[in-house]
Amino acid sequence: MSAVSRFLASELWLIFGRRRNWLGLAVLSAVPIIIAFAVKANPPSGRGGPDFISAITENGMFVALAALAIELPLFLPLAVATISGDSIAGEANLGTLRYLLAVPVHRTKLLAVKYAAIVIFAVAATVLVAAVGLLFGLVLFGGGEATLLSGRQVSMGEGLLRLLGICAYLAVNLCAVGAIGLFVSSLTEQPIGAAIATMILTMGSFILDAIQELEWLHPYLLTHLWLNFGDLLRDPVGWDGVRSGLVHAGAYIVIFCAAAWARFGTKDVTS
């Protein structure tokens, strides 16, 4: 195993081996379970509720979609912000960053491994929510054909493929949050402060996106195209919206990873 692989394995152990992170993942998992049992106990009447919630009784797969939609504005970004905010600042706060660099580990490699671990966590968190929702949804409501937002019914297999595509789309956008968190983490030695600042930027994007008078600003906001995942549930698939969302997230990833590299590459590490 190469030094980079060992470093990545160690980083993943720090993320997935901590009780507080297990607790955070447990909270993410609890949401689809709550949704499933709540709908089972009190099924929505008619089509008055949100589309995903109303469709749960017809196909349990929609528990996963409802959970992702509900957790997207807060819980999922918060989880990624916490991990990314701790990436550099946490080492500095514990006094281990200086010793880590003395191994020696090239700063660019260290930053790349840190971000790779953030990406893996973002993917894992997204898939976890979808998987738990899918499991409890199928157990409580069964599967079968799924009705898309455009009204056409597709097979269970195609529905699962579309769910997987939605997970991939949302994970990429959460990786953009992770890139911001990595950059902010390189500016401070307080991981909580870095996580809070990242969440403020994310929540601020949601708020600004809701203000119609700032419509000129909307295309540049981090969260503006997050809901384009719904285009994967149309027939035909709205690939233009999906591509736009991925390019948008990719631009944030490149810009903030580059900013983190520029900052961390010249940072005077004293702790």
1, pLDDT greater than 80:
no
**Cα(259)–Cα(78) distance, integer angstroms:** 21
**Cα(87)–Cα(67) distance, integer angstroms:** 27
Angle CA 76–66–149, to nearest 5:
125
In this predicted structure, what is the pLDDT of residue 97? 63
CA–CA distances in Å: residue 70 to residues 7, 129, 146, 239: 34, 11, 20, 23
Q: What is the pLDDT of residues 191-212, one digit of tens each?
A: 999 999 999 999 999 999 999 9
DSSP state of 212: G
Q: What is the pLDDT of residues 76-114, one digit of tens each?
A: 999 999 999 998 888 776 656 655 655 555 778 889 999
In this predicted structure, what is the pLDDT of residue 194? 94
Backbone angles phi, psi at 134, to 5 degrees: -65, -45
**What residues contact residue 248 under an 8 Å CB cut-off, 6+ apart?**
224, 225
**Cα(105)–Cα(4) distance, integer angstroms:** 9
Contact 245, 232 (CB under 8 A): no
In this predicted structure, what is the pLDDT of residue 49? 43
Average pLDDT of every residue of the chain: 90
The dihedral of CA 127, 125, 118, 253: what is its sign? positive
In this predicted structure, what is the pLDDT of residue 54? 84
Number of other CB atoms surrounding residue 95 within 10 Å = 11
Q: What is the pLDDT of residues 4-21, one digit of tens each?
A: 788 899 889 989 999 999
Residue 35 in tokens: 């949704």
In this predicted structure, what is the pLDDT of residue 167? 98
Over residues 172-181, mean pLDDT: 98
Q: Which of 168, 156, 126, 125 is nearest to 59 (CA)?
A: 156
